[in-house]
Amino acid sequence: MGQTNLSSGRKDFETPPGSYHVTQKDEHHFSSQYGSYVARSGAVLVRDADLDKDRCPKGAHFVGAPMPYFLRFTGGYGMHAGFVPNYRASHGCIRMPEKMAKHFFDAAKIGTRVEVIEPPLQVTR
């Protein structure tokens, strides 16, 4: 059991609400879709690259974004350690502080239920 701050999918990459189950655990996972294009020298040429949208510069190669303590719960969505600003910022995954991502990773087994719940809309006056 645990509670933590998190960052979910930003506009146009919303994390789909629903009831799911953990289908994959990978302590040292890397994204196969998002990352950086890196030159042979190690210099990062393009940050936040999307393989579907950004062309690879000549002589560069793709390096997937690290997603430590990854727990996949449906399709291309999962939860993992990562940057957690106070707003939605991911491409759909649920990011959390590394300490809590490790806690959930260690506690979860394949088949563990995951509930993605949208917070209620808050109206301020």
Task: Please report whether residue 62 resides in a domain.
Answer: yes
Task: Please report whether residue 106 resides in a domain.
Answer: yes
DSSP 23: -
Task: Please report whether residue 6 resides in a domain.
Answer: no
Do 82 and 94 form a contact (C-beta atoms < 8 A)?
A: no
Task: Please report whether residue 79 resides in a domain.
Answer: yes
Task: List the domain range (segments joined by +) for residue 29.
Answer: 18-116
Q: What is the pLDDT of residues 45-61, one digit of tens each?
A: 999 999 999 999 999 99
Q: What is the mean pLDDT of residues 3-14?
A: 89
Task: Please report whether residue 3 resides in a domain.
Answer: no
pTM: 0.88
Number of domains present in the structure of the chain:
1
Task: Please report whether residue 1 resides in a domain.
Answer: no
| pLDDT attached to residue 15 | 92
Task: Please report whether residue 122 resides in a domain.
Answer: no
pLDDT at residue 86 greater than cutoff 90:
no
pLDDT at residue 4 greater than cutoff 60:
yes
* Closest C-alpha among 52, 53, 54, 58 to residue 40: 58
Q: Which two tokens stand for residue 15?
A: 């994390």
| Percent of the chain with pLDDT strictly greater than 70 | 94
Q: In one letter, which amino acid is 60?
A: A
CATH of the domain at 22: 2.40.440.10
Task: Please report whether residue 110 resides in a domain.
Answer: yes
